[in-house]
Amino acid sequence: MKLNRRAFLKSFTAIAGCFAFSAALPFSPARAEALKVNPARFPQGLASGDPQPDAIMLWVRATPDMPAGDISVTCQMALDDTFRSLVMERKLTLDATSDFTARVLVDGLMPDSRYFYRFIANGEVSPHTGRTRTAPAPDSERAIRYAFTSCQNFERGYYGAWARLVADDVNTPEDEQLDFVLHLGDFIYEVIGDVPEGVDASRKIPPFPDGSAPWVPDGTKPWWQPGATWAVTLDDYRHLYKAYLSDPDLQAARARFPFICTWDDHEFTNDCWQTHDTYFGDGQPAQKRKLAANQAWFEFIPAILSDAQSSGGSTNLARDFRPALVNNSAYSDYDDGLLNTNKDSLAALASMTIYRSLSFGKMLDLVVTDLRSYRSPPVVTEPVKELLGGASRINVIRVIRELDAGRTANNGEPNQILTFQDREIENPRRDAPMGTCMGTTQKQWFKDTLKASNAKWRVWANSIPAVSMRLNLSQVPSVDLEDSYLGVDAWQGFPGELSELMSFVKQEGITNLVSCSGDYHTHAAGRLAIDPDAEEPEFVAVDFATTSISSGNLFTGAEASTRESSPFRPFVTYQSGDRLVENFNNTVVNGVRAGLVASYTGSAWLAGLFATRKASPGLDYLDSNAHGFGLATITAEQTKVTLVNVGAIATKPGPDGQPILRRTTFHVLNWENGSAPSIGTPTFEGVPAFPFS
């Protein structure tokens, strides 16, 4: 399980600000000195990431006295928070080439051990002392505990969820505290100024060093705010990370827990695929932005990529960032995996690879995927949008599945013409391969990694939900509509590949597979089927989606878009006394008839009589009006998942964070005996989300 330090030392020199050290004794530590706390010296705090049994990655950013100068920093690691039991001390020099950030790989550590670390510059330290923990030894059978989080738009609200997570962990017995935090993406948002009226001015991010031209409303993006701009250059993306990491609650969380991170879209650009943006119409190639986004992520997110261990002996394909020269150039042809062969795009993607796996004893193999860099072009293009209704379009399942299947649709006989209501278009994907979210190479790696795993449980760090979230609009009385996906930027836009993966899981006898996902700004829980549209779906895995830390949640968006007497409003919410009932959960999980009955009668019991399992096959729970995080405890017998809802995010949190609105807990029992997975009946602390009890 030892890291290949020689190979790492050879590769890390490709990027400034990266260092590798062994924790070795004896040595002569620097003379003790009186240290002064100075937040301005370390304005983004410190962090650790990707715990291995014998290694950890440490991170810091320090500010020099002169903007164009460099700064000498001492990194220390110890067994105690007084730093009397030092195990490592080294001198670093940081400069502007990495924006004064440092990534410090420390190996030679003891497994399953708590360590403390700090950085010293000019006799000054950060307000936080770093605290981290290595992964258990390969033969360990102890329980593993972690939090999973997603989507933290700085300008949309406060980070009370982070404060709550830290406070709760501090008040938990040490042997039950979290091992790590799994961050599932949207660590930053590439846009600033795209916030509704009334947002606290203290959460506004200063203008970009460069940035795009400000958005001028033209009727195509009614949800965008005038004057919004987005990151264009490396300095812009660095600007965002520095602003986000100025938050004291996020700093406290990164200081207390090692983080394991993947990205979603906003670390680069909204709804991105490969090196393509999607702001206007079908978007355009943005290879320079992708390269800049990759470098900034590498500089500010501590992750062990090159020469990291891999679970089950599978091959590690992750690679540290390496600079490249690229231009924004028009896309060319696609290969059989729908990866564009444009040389600038391939070079930008090859600059860094982040999909990887980590092991935590015999209990858990964690498989971290990248579901943006290699995905095929979205099937909902401008002509498809017009087919499906233009600005008021719905994502008709029949049409999306046909488009995604490409030339494999209808047993290899795809329709030449696509129709919906009284409209039709030529099928633009009748000659294309089936869509992919992972890409050819990553998908094979994913399968190989799952198959090689010998752990009791496998957790898929999945940045986008895989569980079904639909609207069975065909059941709305007197309306000629078809069942539709609730969005297609997640796995619902790639139903063919998800079915392929679940078929592989079944065929290989892989059990105890739990997906932890983000992106949709809602708590959700359910089971994953080989074919969710089968008469009797066969479920082979489970998925728990966590809501956002601070980004606008699913219910709030649905409620805002159905005001002014929208005919769909009763399916989203209705008035009961002086409160709005969150009927959207009911409509998505149980179907539109159940939603309609609830809105007319106010009775969850009566609505339940009209519920159907086919509304969103496999979806068992939805709490769409939520902010917060998920918690998981993994033992030999079960995986226990608690979805924590902290409610509002508009007010600045106190020392203990936001009060908890509800905790919803599920028990997924070990299903190694060949039985189908189940998430069990949820239990609640606090008032349950409607219509659950």
What pLDDT does residue 506 have? 96
Same domain (yes/no): 144, 129: no
Amino acid code (one letter) for 560? A
Give a yes or no: residue 537 inside a domain.
no
Which CATH number characterizes residue 46's domain? 2.60.40.380
Residues in the chain: 693
Give a yes or no: residue 488 inside a domain.
no
Q: Are 268 and 290 in contact (CB under 8 A)?
A: yes
Coil, helix or strand for 548?
strand
Q: How far apart are CA 74 and CA 119, in angstroms?
A: 5
Using alpha carbons only, what angle is made at residue 134 by residues 131 and 135, rounded to the nearest 5 degrees? Answer: 140
Give a yes or no: residue 420 inside a domain.
yes
Query: Which residue in 472, 485, 491, 518 sits closest to 610, CA to CA?
Result: 472
What pLDDT does residue 351 have? 98
The pair of three-digit structure tokens given for residue 142, joined into one six-digit string: 């102890």
Which of the 8 DSSP states describes residue 420?
A: E
What pLDDT does residue 27 have? 45
User: Residue 529: which H helix or E strand, with range?
Assistant: strand 523-529
Write down the pTM of the prediction.
0.96
Same domain (yes/no): 104, 197: no
Q: Which class for 564: exposed (0-12), middle (13-18), buried (19 or more C-beta within 10 A)? A: exposed
Low-confidence stretches of the chain (pLDDT < 70) are 1-19, 24-33, 198-199, 201
What pLDDT does residue 14 have? 43
Query: Which residue in 425, 423, 466, 462 sits closest to 442, CA to CA?
Result: 462
What pLDDT does residue 24 have? 53
In the block, residue with structure tokens 């990655």: 57
Backbone dihedral angles phi then psi of residue 443, each to the nearest 5 degrees: -65, -40
57 beta partners: 49, 105
* pLDDT, tens digit, 9 for 90 and up, residues 500-554: 999 999 999 999 999 999 999 999 999 999 999 999 999 999 999 999 999 999 9
Our count of domains for the chain comes to: 3
Amino acid code (one letter) for 465? P
What pLDDT does residue 12 have? 40
Give a yes or no: residue 447 inside a domain.
yes
Same domain (yes/no): 360, 450: yes
Distances (CA, A) of 554 to 389, 465, 656: 22, 13, 26
Backbone dihedral angles phi then psi of residue 500, each to the nearest 5 degrees: -60, -45
Q: Are 48 and 102 in contact (CB under 8 A)?
A: no
Same domain (yes/no): 64, 201: no
Domain extent, residue 103, equals 1-134
* 3-class SS shares of the chain: helix, strand, coil, % to 5: 25, 25, 50
Same domain (yes/no): 37, 60: yes
Distances (CA, A) of 534 to 507, 574, 618: 18, 33, 11
Give a yes or no: residue 312 inside a domain.
yes
